[in-house]
Structure 1
Amino acid sequence: MSYLTAPESIKAVIYQLSSAQTLWLDTEVADYKNKPRLSLIQVLTTPNEIKSDHLYLFDVLDQPELTTLFIENIMANPAIEKVFHNANYDLKFLGKKQSKNVTCTLVMAKKIPYYLLPVPNYQLKTLATQLGDFTNIDKQEQSSDWGQRPLTEKQLEYAQMDVVYLAQIHQCLLKLQPLAAPDPTTEDLNKLATRYQEIAHQWKQLDSEITHIQDRLKQAMKTQHVDQTDSFKLSSSQRKTLKTTFAQLSEFVQTQNLELDFPLTLTQALQKQLGETIQQLPTQEENTTVWRLIPKAKDHNSESEFPPF
């Protein structure tokens, strides 16, 4: 790991990195609750290496010219893929909409179905523990004082490891992507159907049990006047709906000389009430196709036990 503080050294590495294909990046911010100031930019150039010539920590605290140089040469360069976790946060300090070719592992992870990535949340620590060979990840330094100088050894180690975790997570998510979004032209239909039939009954049982338990919990907590337990908190919300008749609305619009013009969906019930007079009404027809997969019973004289979806 190279911790660089001299502006000329940082500039030299930024120019060197401008020809990279992929970079794994993170930032540390000072005074993030009040007046955020970019403190560090962490850069990893090779996902499986953490040697000094592959990992850099740029100390850019109160040196906006270095940040600008990084944005112009790295962030705005569409030829370089920039990988972050929760990229929206880091981009606040690194070019915002100027940034091109940005990959966010948080977004990637959320697109992976839960059964392929069963995690309670998508925090960096959680994903690193689940996907990588990392244990006992300490995030305590995340909220430390990144505006102090010199930075402590623990802070530098924390900053270094964040991009290491990030790169490993990214590599694992890339391997999961083909499983999450396979090519539909090459899918094995028989294999998919068999798997569906294997788990459909279990799913119906679990879904029914979860719904039943939720209803019982809510009813029991209300009856016993318990607001929260070790596992759940009971909350309620009021929904207010304003209703009026179409005739009253039409009359009100005319008397108030209001300009209201918006499309109305003519439901089957409305179409029936209008009858043949609907032909005199200017309408726009929208056609949509809804696809349903209906399981076929093996015995054609009986209904399938599996639900349509």
Structure 2
Amino acid sequence: MHLQLVSFVLILHCTKYTHSHKHTPGMSTGCQSGCLTCSDYNGCLSCKPKFFIFLERNGMKQTGVCLTSCPSGYYGTRSPERNDCTKCRPECDSCFTGNFCTRCRAGFYLHQGKCLQSCPEGRAPNDAQRECVPECPAECDSCTNSDTCTRCAPGHYLLLGKCHHDCPEEYEPSEPLMMCIPPVHCEVGGWSEWSPCAKPGKACSVKRTREVIQSPSPHGKPCPVTFEKRGRVPGKKNCKDRRNRNNRKEKENQDIRRDRKRDRKACERENPENRNKTERRRRRGQGRSAGTAEGDAVQ
């Protein structure tokens, strides 16, 4: 009986020793992903490398979780011992470090990493972006600085960083773009051939056309005539064609007479006898002309 009691005490002692090495009181055996150590009540107590420990508040209770990046409103700090998520300044909605905000809370405006309640000179508050933006001219809706607009107010058109109510003479307004753009002028191709008559040999109307290659913009140069029609009478030529034909014939006759005269002179130079005959014929002709003149005088 005494030996049985001693054996039972030894078994209890060994069991307690073994349990104390397997599970520390308060520690959890099933840690969440990223946790290195944890407890059932406090969650993660430490994180694996590259993870940040973040304390989630649930009423009065805080539970540790391990994250790859800190949530909005916090920034991460690393150290050899642990990586922590630290809360941004109260006026920051998100931040890169404790002294550099990336977005401000409502009522504050971001300028050079600081959240300000009023913007410095030359800057204007933008409620949508919560930033201090360049102070634009009245006709600008947005700008990069006081001299360069990027978008114009309604009723104005952007041109080279300036907003115009009326575009310069060499430009025209574009309503979809709200910009001043160069006008597009009309371009046409060459004329087609005249169409043939429907019934050959009879009078008819013929036409020709040319294609519009580029349509004009509202302020561009309009297109010229792209359609022509005229009557045609077969077998009749117009005055211009008739003059051209007569001029060609007259030139041909002049060339023929010039060639004949040149050939006759060439023959006379080559044959003196022919030249003498020609001379005698010319003299006889002159004599007859003289006799006829004397007879007329006697009568």
What TM-score bracket applies, with the shorter chain setting the length? Answer: under 0.3
- More helix by proportion, 1 or 2? 1
TM, length-normalised to structure 2? 0.15
Does 1 or 2 have the higher relative contact order (CA < 8 Å, sep 6+)? Answer: 1
- More strand by proportion, 1 or 2? 2
TM, length-normalised to structure 1? 0.14
Structure label with greater radius of gyration: 2
